[in-house]
Amino acid sequence: MAAKLIKGAEISKQIREEIAVEIEELKGKHGLTPGLATILVGDDPGSKVYVGQKEKACDKLGIYSARTDIPADTSEEDLLGLVEKFNNDPKIHGILVQLPLPKHIDATRVIYAIEPDKDVDCFHPVNVGKLMIGTARFLPCTPHGIMELLKRSGTDTSGKHVVVVGRSNIVGKPIANLMLQRSPGGNATVTLCHTGTKDLAAFTKMADILIVAIGQPKAITADMVKDGVVVIDVGVNRIGKTPEGKGILAGDVDFDSVQEKAAAITPVPGGVGPMTITMLMKNTVEAAKATIGTK
């Protein structure tokens, strides 16, 4: 039986409509326009696409967007200076430095430099710590998007076995944490697998909900999952080009075979990706709201 598709693009649209109402209210009642600064270092093709999508989403929603593109050989000091400028700019409520950064720049140092109240990615250790103890204002965009996909597709997580594959700071670690919080959308039993895991399939086969974020095209195949699993595929891998020069994308999950066994699955593209952008918009609005009454 073919799986139900969890359509991130559609769910995303719905959430953006809700965000648009909030923005209207902020502008009308408080004269406040949320502002997002995006910084893109270098010219990684994926990063360019994603930052472009972020800028476009801001424009459509009426969020002020300040995009800064700087060359790959920019020094760490110059990038830190730019972050500091936006930390002090009252028009900017959210700051996003697109990752990955060039090798000569210490990404940790850059993340530490972002004012935590403007850290709409939720990458700063203060915000990561708050996330762990369940008191965060922002949730990281991709994990937050996954939570909303599960919620809005009617997937209950409480008491389920969630298996996460991939231990990145940006997806795997935070989503595992969110899934085990004693709160709606969480309360799951969580297993976190990674490159050190022996017999990965033994774990993925146990999953009621399988979340994969490893950046390896079609790595999870049908023989690695059980019937009725709900699959969230976070991977966006560029695996080639059509004769017309359009990029071909594949997830971390072998969609064609796995969808035969799954109860529900996210497609790539049009699954988790658009949700990441949408939750960034949401966090930017939250960051703007938090400044009301503090000036």
The residues assigned a catalytic role are: 54, 98, 121
Number of residues interacting with ligand L34: please give it, by CB under 6 A: 19
- Closer by beta carbon to ligand L34, 142 or else 157: 142
3-state secondary structure of 190: strand
With beta carbons less than 8 A apart as the criterion, state whether 251 and 218 touch.
Answer: yes
The distance from CA 276 to its chain's CA centroid, rounded to whole angstroms, is 4
Query: Smaller CB distance to ligand L34: residue 208 or 254?
Result: 254
Strand partners, 40: 69
Q: Strands, E, within 137-226: which ranges?
A: 161-165, 189-193, 209-212
CA gap 244, 228 in Å, rounded: 37
Q: Which of 268, 281, 285, 287 binds ligand L34 (CB under 6 A)?
A: 268
Which residues between 191 and 250 bind ligand L34 (CB under 6 A)?
A: 236, 249
Binding to ligand L34 in span 81-120, by CB under 6 A: 96-99
x/- map, 40-79, ligand L34, by CB under 6 A: ---------xx--x--------------------------
Residue nearest to ligand L34 (CB): 273
Cβ atoms of 161 and 191 within 8 Å: the answer is yes
**112 contact partners, CB below 8 Å, separation of at least 6:** 124, 125
Shortest distance, position 138 Cβ to ligand L34, whole Å: 12
Provide, rounded to whole angstroms, the least separation between the CB of residue 86 and ligand L34.
14
Identify the CA nearest to 90 among candidates 34, 29, 30, 27.
34
Residue (140 or 185) nearer to ligand L34, CB: 140
* Rounded least distance, CB 97 to ligand L34, Å: 6
Exposure class string for 118-127: b at 16+ Cβ within 10 A, else e: bbbbbbbeeb
Region from 28-36, 202-210, 274-282, 284-292 binding ligand L34, contact rule CB under 6 A = 274-282
Residues that bind ligand L34 (CB under 6 A): 49-50, 53, 96-99, 121, 141-142, 236, 249, 268-270, 273-274, 276-277
